Amino acid sequence: MSARILDGVRIANEIRSEVSAEAKNLTAAGVRPGLAVVLVGHNPASEIYIRGKVKACEEVGLYSEQHTLAEASTTLEVLNLINDLNRRDEIDGILVQLPLPGQVDSKKVLMAVDPAKDVDGFHPVNVGLLSTQRPGLVPCTPAGVMEILKRSHIPVAGQEAVVVGRSDIVGKPAAMLLINANSTVTVCHSKTHDLPAVCRRADILVAAIGRAGMITRDFVKPGATVIDVGMNKVTDPVEFQRLFAGNSKREENFRSKGSTLVGDVHPEVAEIAGALTPVPGGVGPLTIAMLMYNTVKAARLNRARWSVVSGQ
């Protein structure tokens, strides 16, 4: 048996196409959705992510602008920029690229973003809205996980789901979304007793632990759907062999690049799972697609809010 591979690129393209159509409709009605991306310093990985986000905005017809502050910026300087963006009507979404330099108080900065413009869905107001099933902005990666399940016609209601990882960015919101979709959910972490046995109960297993190839076949019930949220760079040849021994294509690529990307799920899981997201090409493309979706959603919610305020 070999797992059905869930194509995140195809699903992300579907969502981008839908977002583009809605952005066009909003723009025709006089509201062009706008995203502001804030970068502090010159972290090369962050710069690559931001370029991808700005390019995606252009492709779906959103307005975007990038604000880059100096590496030595203070918390107050970042807060001043956030407050300025909060006040601007043409900016519907604000994304603060993490990590921020050590001297900047990340929690203060994220709390300062207007919840109505918090396209990352990290603000406690949006966390509360998600918890109580009210309209709000949902974190992009967990929202993407749910889109993969829905658009791949994988049943969620009544299923047993296990989420490995309890981060505020992925694990907790993914668990909340699965609960809202009527799954029975277990959240696992470093203190979970007999983790493989708990994971083997899952009809849907979401791996978001941040450890390369940690989820092996012993963790997976035959036929289960496995969603791999991890994105880990492997440079150690011994670790590479543990994960990809005998995979000549990967070996050639590793020799030429000196590294390879792998998720939290060991490749051998493909032999036992019923469905599996690949890395790369699984959850990753959905994260940016859902950011575009959230920006348009924020524009729509903000327009509704302005209509109520102005009495239209």
Mind telling me the catalytic residues?
Answer: 53, 97, 120
**Residue that the structure tokens 């502001």 belong to:** 36
Check if the beta carbon of residue 82 is closer than 8 Å to that of residue 112: yes
Name residues whose C-beta falls within 8 Å of residue 285's C-beta, 6 or more positions apart in sequence: 8, 9, 11, 12
* Buried/exposed 42-61: b ≥16 CB within 10 Å, e otherwise: ebeebeebbeebbebbeebb
DSSP notation for the chain: --PEEP-HHHHHHHHHHHHHHHHHHHHHTT---EEEEEEES--HHHHHHHHHHHHHHHHHT-EEEEEEE-TT--HHHHHHHHHHHHH-TT--EEEEPSPPPTTS-HHHHHHHS-GGGBTT--SHHHHHHHHTT-S----HHHHHHHHHHHHTT---TT-EEEEE---TTTHHHHHHHHHHTT-EEEEE-TT-TTHHHHHTT-SEEEE-S--TT-B-GGG--TT-EEEE---EEE--HHHHHHHHTT-HHHHHHHHHHS-EEE-SB-GGGGGT-SEE--SSSSSHHHHHHHHHHHHHHHHHHHHHHHHHHHT-
